Chains A and B, each alone.
Chain A
Amino acid sequence: MIRLEKRPQPSRGWVIGGPVLAVVLTMAAGGLMFAALGKDPVEAIRIIFWDPLFSQQFASYSRPQLLVKAGPLILIAIGLSLGFRAGIWNIGAEGQYIVGAICGAAFGLAFWPSESPLIFPGMVLAGLLGGFLWAMIPALLRVYARTNEILVSLLLVYVAEAMLASAATGWLRNPEGSGFPGSRTLSRHPGTDNPELIAGTGMHWGVLAAFVAVIAAYVVMNRHVLGYQIRLAGEAPRAARFGGVNAGRLVILCMGVSGALAGAAGLFEVSGPAGRISIDFNVGYGFTAIIVAFLGRLNPVGILLAGLLLALTFIGGELAQLMMGIPAPAIQAFQGMLLFFLLALDLLANYRIRLKGRAPA
């Protein structure tokens, strides 16, 4: 019989080796699946993991996409991870992302067609503030009315989507867009655009913000009293209260930071890669970021790597569909396998497997 036994201390080897082994196992299992579908498994895996970064043919397009896709995922996931560490479950990052984008875009469009260099920083602030305020609704309701922030934040996503629809078709619609939904294009207008900072890399202000957030989160979680209190509140709420942690303030802070970062990510997206407010510019980064946060074990460096890995499989998956005609569900199954193996092997960092022999007489 197989039995799991909790390790006294997490195993260092498995913390690092587990994810590597998970990728290898995914390649093996996914390869079998591709082979069963009659596709060349070696080629499929090369296209998914290798070609987006290194192929002569595609890399020029897909390499920048890696940072474009990973940037918002990482930025949002870092914010979420603070709350998740403290047992505060903001599931509505998608809504905060949308509201941040709308607020930031509205700020920029309010000054249209000004090209002042102050506009973009103002848009970033408006984006941060929009996401922050949207997250304050579940936060304040939890603190003062004891509602469940999971439900409230999640349901507010649908409210935000309705607001996005009304903005795209109504009050933010491009007046020169001959009635089509969608705002003016922010990304091709000096003053409101979030440009690619280094050509051919996909690096824009949002990606930079994500990297800064990773470093800041690392410092806060490991060195700062706030990070200590967040970990304490998550691991032992009663001990946290005994240690003088104000639970309500922590909820507001964690929800506020995650909302603000999600809002900023939304603004960077509409002023950069997406280019404008459209009815469906949001592609679910706010939800995917939850996976990224957990995949990265709520650790800033882990989130950085998880965001990049997930972005890679998205890009590589699209490429494989395009090049080899692998059906989309097979690609999703492949991504699912990756998550499965990562999480399954994650268990081994904290537990060891005992093969229980026969009981001695």
Chain B
Amino acid sequence: MTALLEIEGLTKAYPGVVANDAVSFSVQPGEVHALLGENGAGKSTLVKMIYGLVKPDRGAMRLRGAAYAPSEPRAARAAGVAMVFQHFSLFEALSVAENIALGMENPPKARDLAERIRSVSETYGLPLDPFRLVGDLSAGERQRVEIIRCLLQDPKLLIMDEPTSVLTPQEVEILFHTLRKLSSEGTAILYISHKLEEIRTLCDAATILRLGKKVGECTPREVTAAHMAELMVGKSLSVPARDDHEPGEVLLHVAGLSVTPASPFGMPLRHVGLEVRAGEVLGIGGVAGNGQDELLSALSGETPVSPGAITLQGQPVGHLGPNERRVLGLLCAPEERLGHAAAPDMSLTENAVLTGRIRQGLDAHGFVNWGKARGFAEAIIARFDVRTPGPGVAARALSGGNLQKFVIGREILQDPTVLVVNQPTWGVDASAAAAIRQALLDLAQGGAAVIVISQDLDELLEISDRFCALNEGRLSAPRPARGLTMEEIGLMLGGAHDMHDVAAGAGA
């Protein structure tokens, strides 16, 4: 059998970095092929070359035996290659069908298109109502829009970039079901991920990249996850260590916290209540868009609430702004690194001042002490192993993982009483993620209370003492994290999102 896609010696260099160095592999028809590697390993560049977004410097590709060198994504799509990106490009104010029509060369009439969307979504078990507004959809449903957009082109090769990072366990099951069906019909899938268990359950073959080079290939079902992790990282990873201990007094208490979102597509918080004790890590799971950002804003003080809704060590702080809460020891690290946790075009020194000014005494009489600020930035860089030429570098010049280490480190070094982090390891490579988790555990060990909001359930189970789920702006009652199964967590998260809605919509 000839391979569907053959890649030979593909090389792409950017100024200062070789993103792909003579990478070769092949994908068979109907194969689910994993592309495995840490952030910065060159997975994205590689698939961008396959999808025609980036031109290789050297090397050749063959699709179904014929030379293949797409000059643009349109050419790739015409050749039968489709891609679902990690970040969706959808318009929230338009309906599903309108969004799909926008991506087509010759969109059919709205009614015909809706019919085709329905039939594809039924065939592949991806429930989706073509007339709903994208703004009202969950992340999992938005992903279905992107997948159906691809399937309408009847692709021979479907590229998926980290598709499960936004899904609940049940939604992952639905997705895998769809992918298996596609593969049984002969569509090959190039599946990018760094989640090893997933790859072991889904994929037939895997190509492992490290620092732009192919470092191995394997049949995922036949090797252990640890083996793949070692290939991927180049060394064995340590699981965060922690001692058992009794939690202390309640440091942060939230009761009856309700927030109306600022934007029409935000999620209101409905009567959220929680408490965290000294020395404890509270994990809050849930699919993004279920109120995570709103909860963080309410806790950080960006959205002021009624005084008594949030109390810190018995003191009402709901009405206080971000800096007043910092004075009292309530620190936060938001999810969005560029633009929220850090200003992209400002240097690391300037970004250290962003949250560190008051607790670190980086100003005097209203004037910023830039020498001291630089010292603080350097301390973060040294303590958290942030890879950067120096504190004068702009935040946007750092890789996601390094900036995340800087952002988390900036709060941890300020010795918080309560630390709230949202998606602390999102898009961060495995070794940096382990370092961040360890730092959070150490902080709790030292007597602080830590709240980790995350979509990564493995991460939450690894570091939390107690776990609760945020779903549609409601927070479930906490349960001890130890012993929770994925199934139970999935149910806490509300199961597969909005399956019932679609069933009702289709019947109407």
Contacts and interface: CB of A to CB of B under 8 A. Distances in A.
Chain A complexes with chain B: yes
Interface of A: 8-9, 223-226, 228, 231-232, 235-236, 238-244, 246, 359-360
A235 B368 contact: no
Nearest to A238: B340
B193 to A, nearest CB: 29
Given A228-B368, A231-B346, A235-B343, A246 B322 contact: no
Contact of B397 (A8, A226, A239): A8
Given A235-B346, A236-B343, A241 B366 contact: no
Contacts of B326: 244
B346 A360 contact: no
Shortest beta-carbon contacts, A-B, top 5 = A244-B323, A236-B343, A244-B322, A243-B354, A238-B340
9 contacts: A224-B366, A235-B344, A235-B346, A236-B338, A236-B340, A239-B340, A242-B300, A243-B355, A244-B324
A239 B343 contact: yes
B54 to A, nearest CB: 11
Contacts of B370: 223
B142 interface: no
Contacts of A244: 301, 321-324, 326
Contacts of A246: 321
B346 A242 contact: no
Contacts of B366: 224-226
B353 interface: yes
A228 B302 CA distance: 19
B363 interface: yes
B336 interface: yes
Given A228-B353, A359-B55, A360-B58, A236 B394 contact: no
Contacts of A238: 336, 339-340
A239 B339 contact: yes
B342 interface: yes
A241 B394 contact: no
Contact of A225 (B324, B338, B357): B357
A9 B366 CA distance: 28
Contacts of B350: 228, 231
Nearest to B339: A236
Main secondary structure of the interface of A (DSSP, over half): helix
B345 interface: yes
A243 B334 CA distance: 11
B81 interface: no
Interface residues of B, number: 36
A242 B363 CA distance: 18
A223 B355 contact: no
Nearest to B326: A244
B92 interface: no
B355 A242 contact: yes
Contacts of B342: 236, 239
B216 to A, nearest CB: 28
A359 B394 CA distance: 31
Interface string B368-398: 1010000000000000000000000110010
A225 B356 CA distance: 12
Contacts of A231: 346, 350
Given A225-B367, A235-B345, A242-B340, 15 more contacts: A9-B393, A9-B397, A224-B368, A225-B366, A231-B346, A236-B338, A236-B340, A236-B344, A236-B345, A236-B346, A239-B339, A242-B300, A242-B302, A242-B355, A243-B357
Nearest to B350: A228
Contact of A232 (B300, B338, B354): B354
B185 interface: no
**Which of A226, A228, A242: most chain B CB closer than 10 A?**
A242
B230 interface: no
A239 B363 contact: no
Contacts of A9: 393-394, 397
B57 interface: yes
Contacts of A239: 339-343, 354
Contact of B363 (A225, A232, A235, A240): A225
A223 B373 CA distance: 12
Contacts of A232: 343, 346, 354
B394 A8 contact: yes
Given A8-B394, A224-B367, A241 B346 contact: no
Contacts of A223: 367-368, 370
Contacts of B301: 244
Nearest to A240: B343
Nearest to B337: A239
Contacts of A235: 343-346
Contacts of B57: 360
A239 B357 CA distance: 14
Interface string B52-64: 0001011000000
Contacts of A360: 57-58
A225 B368 contact: yes
Contacts of B346: 231-232, 235-236
B359 to A, nearest CB: 12
Interface string B313-334: 0000000011110100000101
A243 B326 CA distance: 10
A246 B367 CA distance: 18
B339 A241 contact: no
Interface string B9-27: 0000000000000000000
Contacts of A225: 357, 363, 366-368
Contacts of A243: 322-323, 354-355, 357
Contacts of B357: 225, 243
Contacts of A359: 55
Contacts of B397: 8-9
Nearest to B358: A244
A244 B324 CA distance: 8
A232 B393 CA distance: 16
Contacts of A240: 343
**Which of B339, B355, B367: most chain A CB closer than 10 A?**
B367
B334 A242 contact: yes
Contacts of B343: 232, 235-236, 239-240
A226 B365 CA distance: 11
Contacts of B338: 236
Interface string B436-470: 00000000000000000000000000000000000
A359 B69 CA distance: 11
Nearest to B340: A238
Contacts of B367: 223-225
A71 to B, nearest CB: 28
A14 to B, nearest CB: 17
A242 B368 contact: no
A240 B339 CA distance: 9
Nearest to B323: A244
